[in-house]
Amino acid sequence: MSFRISVLGTGYLGTTHAAGMAELGYDVLGLDVDADKVARLARGEVPFHEPGLAELVRTHTRSGRLRFTTDFAAAAAFADVHFLAVGTPQSADGEAADLSHLRAAVDALAPHLERPCVVVGKSTVPVGTAAELAGRLAGLAPAGRAVELAWNPEFLREGHAVADTLAPDRIVVGAASELAEKVLREVYGDLLERGVPFLATDLATAELVKVAANSFLATKVSFVNAMAEVCEAAGADVTVLARAIGLDERIGPRFLRAGVGFGGGCLPKDVRAFRARARELGGDSAAALLGEVDRINLRARERVLALARRALGGVLAGRRIAVLGAAFKPDTDDVRDSPALDVAAAAARAGARVTVYDPAAGRSGAAARPELAFADSLEAAARGADLVLLLTEWAEFRTADPRRLAALVAAPVLVDGRNALDRAAWTAAGWTVHAPGRPAPRS
């Protein structure tokens, strides 16, 4: 059977999922309450930077397989499978997740669900949310219990979202009924045929898998940043340490890059929301662990700023700093909870004259931090700088010619806040290179 699919919420997750489902051959209707966004997407325009996504959206809006609407009744009438992909940001008044958008989407859709269908949660939620939504659906939908609920967490990474959607490393489905699980096995049939592992479980486990995965990744980053603190104190080198422990297959090399720490719209808020939920459930060890992960991460930002201050001889005020990077990581223009912007803003608050350059996040960065100056090229940012501070490891920075940049700056002093550059090459080009967790350069 060929299902018709709706995707509620057209942010990073929803837009990518909707386009991915169209690519897998389904007729898809994306829904958002933001009429402007819907109009842009319907014209094939993606309002954020994600490699390959604009092409996919354009292809399928042209073919007619992918359409967008603001109308919940239309989505209910159209689709057999409704994916919930609305945001669950951190609450304004605490660490817990704000579920108001998710509840609002379910409350708006449910009264129109008149025939059997499956509602599939993809949003990241505190464990127990799916059970609550199941009750809401059963109470509000005219089709009652014929509306099935499943939870199918999403593991896509920004910057790799299209590939992660079309070739995921696993599909996890929590379902209360065999029917819901069977429908999702069919929906993802092509991927399963290609050998993608499918894990069927209950709703609570599926919800937890997602926050546990993100928390583990965050823990790895904070672990290596804690090691960086010790390495600095001991005069050791965290990059060699990370490489050496990462060669142990049980540890693995990824997410062991020490630096300014993790940011973005997912890891920081998921760690906090999971911590809040674990505490509610009496999971004190998990809550304590995640609290420490968060603290180490925020300290990593302060430590990179302190390193910049040291590199400038102890004073930031009045000094010109070229900040390379605004996005929370390369290949995205997302600046949500970006360590780069945080450190740049803190340097400016301390009196430094900061100029930021980012290959894609200049506009989003300037909107988030209007007090900062942005340049539109690496050269323009570097010209006359007393310090170059790398905070997002874009390929443009990793492949930049250190000799050419040395000729532009006032002083060839670099803080590599991501341990991403070739220290030997930059040193050979005349730069004094400082980096978190590595021995101070010889003066």
- Binding residues for ligand UGA, rule: CB under 6 A, are 124, 154-158, 214, 217, 221, 255-257, 259, 261-264, 266-267, 328-329
- Give the CA angle between residues 323, 295, 205 to the nearest 5°: 110
**Cβ count near 32 (within 10 Å):** 22
350 neighbors 422 (Cβ within 8 angstroms): no
Q: Residue 89 or 116: which CB sits closer to ligand UGA? A: 89
Q: How far is the CB of 122 from ligand UGA (least distance, A)?
A: 10
Distance between CA atoms of residues 291 and 268, nearest Å? 11
Distance between CA atoms of residues 398 and 392, nearest Å? 10
Helix (H) or strand (E) holding 148: strand 147-151
Closest CA to 368 of 332, 347, 337: 337
Q: How far is the CB of 401 from ligand UGA (least distance, A)?
A: 24
User: Whole-angstrom distance between the N-terminal and C-terminal Cα of the chain?
Assistant: 70
Structure tokens at 277: 């939920």
Distance between CA atoms of residues 30 and 134, nearest Å? 22
Residue that the structure tokens 């992960």 belong to: 293
Q: How far is the CB of 391 from ligand UGA (least distance, A)?
A: 9
**Residue 366 three-state SS:** helix
To the question of whether residue 178 is assigned a binding role by annotation, the answer is no
Q: Residue 3 or 155: which CB sits closer to ligand UGA? A: 155
Q: How far is the CB of 327 from ligand UGA (least distance, A)?
A: 9
To the question of whether residue 184 is assigned a binding role by annotation, the answer is no
Catalytic one among 266, 344, 354, 382? Answer: 266
Q: How far is the CB of 12 from ligand UGA (least distance, A)?
A: 7
Q: How far is the CB of 382 from ligand UGA (least distance, A)?
A: 22
Q: Residue 121 or 259: which CB sits closer to ligand UGA? A: 259
To the question of whether residue 329 is assigned a binding role by annotation, the answer is yes
Known catalytic residue at 231: no
To the question of whether residue 220 is assigned a binding role by annotation, the answer is no
Closest CA to 81 of 133, 154, 155, 8: 8
CA dihedral 174→334→27→4, nearest 10 degrees, is 30
Residue that the structure tokens 């299902």 belong to: 3
To the question of whether residue 417 is assigned a binding role by annotation, the answer is no
Enumerate the H helices of 157-283 as residue ranges: 161-166, 178-187, 189-193, 203-234, 238-246, 267-280
Closest CA to 297 of 264, 261, 329, 338: 261
To the question of whether residue 336 is assigned a binding role by annotation, the answer is yes
To the question of whether residue 269 is assigned a binding role by annotation, the answer is yes
Q: Residue 265 or 412: which CB sits closer to ligand UGA? A: 265
Q: Residue 171 or 266: which CB sits closer to ligand UGA? A: 266
To the question of whether residue 263 is assigned a binding role by annotation, the answer is yes
Q: Residue 303 or 320: which CB sits closer to ligand UGA? A: 303
- Residue stretches of the annotated binding site for NAD(+): 32, 37, 88, 124, 158, 269, 336
Active site residues: 266
Residues of the binding site for substrate = 155-158, 210, 255-259, 263, 329
